């Protein structure tokens, strides 16, 4: 009697494995994207807190890109060159790039449902993947609103992050 597997048994095993992989990959992608977003949100909060401390030290209320940039913040950010992706030792200017996001210290625009302009916020734009171009805003404050803990999304892919689109023109890729 021969021992081994028949062609049908091998095909059934391959189909089962293919089915399992097909179900697992989207869940894996979603989990990876959630972790990237959590990292971005944490970094944005640190940037905003550092930016506000710097403003306090300078006795100023609003940020000006001509006044200072990332080089004056008291946090370290893993910057990369926007075109080559090579690591940069020191972040400078009001806009920087990391592997997955573009961050801006001086976002502009408005928030849906409010006539207030954005002030003292930090913006992140997704640079890659299916959600490329989706913008996230961590608000320090609105010019006419003292509420400081707002995290908002702008763009057609906000739903992928479980968020409503609530703003316009904060920063773009």
Contact 173, 132 (CB under 8 A): yes
Contact 79, 88 (CB under 8 A): yes
Highest mean pLDDT among 58-67, 79-88, 102-111, 158-167: 79-88
Residue 36 has pLDDT above 70, yes or no: yes
Residue that wins the pLDDT comparison between 171 and 114: 171
Residue 144 has pLDDT above 60, yes or no: no
What pLDDT sits at residue 75? 86
The C-alpha atoms of residue 169 and residue 135 are separated, in whole angstroms, by 9
Mean pLDDT of 152-172: 73
The C-alpha atoms of residue 63 and residue 69 are separated, in whole angstroms, by 9
Instruction: Please write the tens of the pLDDT for every residue from 59-90.
Output: 776 666 666 778 888 888 888 888 888 888 78
Q: What is the 3 state secondary structure string of the chain?
A: CCCCCCHHHHHHHHHHHHHHHHHHHHHHHHHHHHHHHHHHHHHHHHHHHHHHHHHHHCCCCCCCCCCCCHHHCCCCCCCECCCCCCECCCCCCCEEECCCEEEECCCCCEECCCCCEEEEEEEEEECCCCCCCCEEEEEEEECCECCCCEEEEECCCHHHHCCCECEECCCCC
Under the banding of pLDDT at 50, 70 and 90, the label for residue 157 is confident
pLDDT-wise least confident of 26-30, 33-37, 61-65, 136-140: 61-65
Residue 173 has pLDDT above 70, yes or no: no
What strand order describes the sheet that includes 101-104? 95-97, 101-104, 118-126, 135-142, 150-154
What pLDDT sits at residue 106? 77
């Amino acid at each position: 009697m021969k021992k081994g597997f028949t062609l049908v048994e091998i095909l059934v095993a391959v189909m089962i494995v293919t089915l399992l992989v097909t179900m697992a990959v989207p869940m894996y992608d979603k989990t990876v994207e959630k972790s990237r977003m959590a990292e971005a949100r944490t970094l944005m909060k640190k940037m905003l807190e550092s930016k506000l401390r710097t403003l306090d030290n300078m006795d100023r209320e609003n940020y000006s890109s001509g006044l200072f940039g990332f080089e004056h913040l008291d946090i370290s950010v893993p910057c990369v060159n926007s075109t080559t992706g090579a690591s940069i030792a020191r972040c400078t200017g009001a806009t920087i790039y990391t592997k997955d996001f573009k961050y801006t210290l001086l976002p502009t625009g408005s928030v849906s449902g409010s006539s207030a302009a954005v002030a003292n916020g930090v913006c992140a734009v997704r640079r890659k993947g299916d959600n490329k171009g989706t913008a996230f805003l961590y608000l320090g404050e609105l010019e006419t609103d003292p509420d400081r803990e707002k995290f908002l999304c702008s763009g057609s892919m906000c739903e992928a992050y479980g968020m409503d689109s609530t703003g316009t023109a904060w920063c773009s890729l």
